[in-house]
Structure 1
């Protein structure tokens, strides 16, 4: 490919993707509202940009064949705070990608688009939206917009419902929800290099023995995860615990995001859960 654009390039996940994406194109243009990373790949160019500014994003997109959109606030927050980066920012990325003649947007969606679905029900990629937060609602908005841009304008999209992506699984919930950094790279590379995707939703999850979701419907992506959170089970489950069937944080895919008040940080709730075991 001649040019890939990566948004959110300075974020926790975007920074993992910069080097692998640089290998897939003649030029990688990385962008973030933050300042440039200390070092860039030989074929990487960085542009500091605000995703809510359509003209700004259009300039970044010129000549792009593929857009990997990971720029957003990655947590629950008041709706007014999410409106710009997560809602309007998603629109400007899709609109600018369309105007630039890009072929596809690979989007960092989230399990929180369906976070109030029950974990033990078993879900493929056709499970309907059931957001657990304003943050999850922003992912529903972007997924629906991606489908509309495909059906009305022919711009492909692969929406990755990422569960919990960390270098190692952090808590008992991660035994089913973990996405390793290595599998994140494999998933994004597959989403970029698959010849035809149309509009596709895929789960961002590793090959966990306890995974409650399935990518069987989208095997054409060629995503083959290699890591399994079960390798950490002895550390994460030192003593058996009785489940509380009345607790949505245990019962729902969104975990603690399913119970935090709207507008309050879900990441903080997960951190507290991790610290207390």
Structure 2
């Protein structure tokens, strides 16, 4: 089996390369970086731009599956998002269809539904409610995946990741996805025999998780980690919630608060450390 991993130079991609390489005969990792460090057995690296159909078609040729994690991962003006996040998704799906890819596993996001109130536990069937252009790109790609399944029989699994980083605030007590659970989530999306079109939330087994994956249980994802182990320390230093702040009261966190096109990651103090190779 041949798997293509986009966004391989990114933080989450750095954690996925080794387990994906172990699952297949050939792993082709790709990104716009010049290199990604030491390669794992069976892994090759190809520099390619998601916004170029020809480059993407060459990379996915002969692949059974694509694990699509490549994108701008912050809110930016629409014009900056258009190539990598919108056109890039189209290029992955259309090139995948033309070259015989069976399934695409896509890094979607909670930001596709980020404007729902956090007090409302949402499942995988709620209508889209994006908080940003970034979230809008996730909605576009989820709809793209559904359309290619309905019209062309091409499978896809859309992972609505909440927050895959260290637990550093009260929101993360519900939204945390550990790296081990991320790997399990992607593994189940790859090795489940048949998926059709599916959406699942990327979240660990947190006591305070604000989303419901019951409709996606057939994927066999059973997270092991729980952010409650960090609760006492975090809540002791966390100020009372501001009930008028969308950044605290909506699923999208700071993305729900900031204006369209304005970076939200700049205030989120995310640990950007990648896995060493």
User: Counterparts of 2:206 and 2:255 in 1: how far apart (Å)?
Assistant: 21
Cα RMSD after superposing both structures: 1.1
**1:236 deviation in Å?**
1.2
Question: CA–CA distance in 2 between the matches of 1:244 and 1:123?
Answer: 22
- Once the two structures are TM-superposed, the CA of residue 238 in structure 1 deviates from its matched residue by 1.2
Deviation at 1:237, TM superposition (A): 1.1
Q: Which residue of 2 is the match for residue 275 of structure 1?
A: none
Q: Distance in 1 between matches of 2:51 and 2:184?
A: 29
Q: Tell me by how many angstroms 1:239 deviates.
A: 4.4
Q: Could you tell me which residue of structure 1 aligns to residue 56 of structure 2?
A: 57
Q: Tell me what 2:275 maps to.
A: none
> Which of 237, 247, 252 is equivalent to 1:249?
247
Deviation for aligned residue 1:176? 0.5
Deviation of the 1:242 alpha carbon? 3.0
TM-score, L = length of structure 2: 0.95
Partner of 1:224: 222
SS for the counterpart of 1:253 is coil
Asked whether the equivalents of residues 50 and 88 of structure 2 are also in contact (C-alpha less than 8 Å), the reply is yes
How many residues are matched? Answer: 270
Q: TM-score, normalised by structure 1?
A: 0.95
Name the residue aligned to 1:20. Answer: 19
* Partner residue in 2 for 1:131: 130
Deviations 1:217-236 (A, max 9, x none): 11110001011111111221
Q: Give the corresponding residue for 2:119.
A: 120
Structure 2 unaligned regions, length at least 5: 271-277
Which blocks of at least 5 consecutive residues in structure 1 are unaligned?
273-277
In the other structure, the counterpart of 1:99 is 98
Aligned-pair distance for 1:37? 1.4
Alpha-carbon separation, structure 1, partners of 2:238 and 2:80: 40
Where does residue 79 of structure 2 map in the other structure? 80
Say if 1:157 and 1:198, in contact at 8 Å, map to a contact too: yes
Q: Is the 8 A contact 2:169 2:238 kept in 1?
A: no
In the TM superposition, residue 240 of structure 1 has moved relative to its aligned partner by: 6.3
1:166-208 per-residue CA deviation (whole Å, 9 max, x = no partner) reads 1x31211100000010000000000000001100000000000
Q: Which residue of 2 aligns with 1:184?
A: 182
Partner of 1:259: 257
State the secondary structure of the residue aligned to 2:30: strand
Matched with 2:144 is 145
1:4 aligned residue: 3
Distance 1:92 1:240, change over 3 A: closer
**Equivalent residue of 1:237, what SS?**
helix
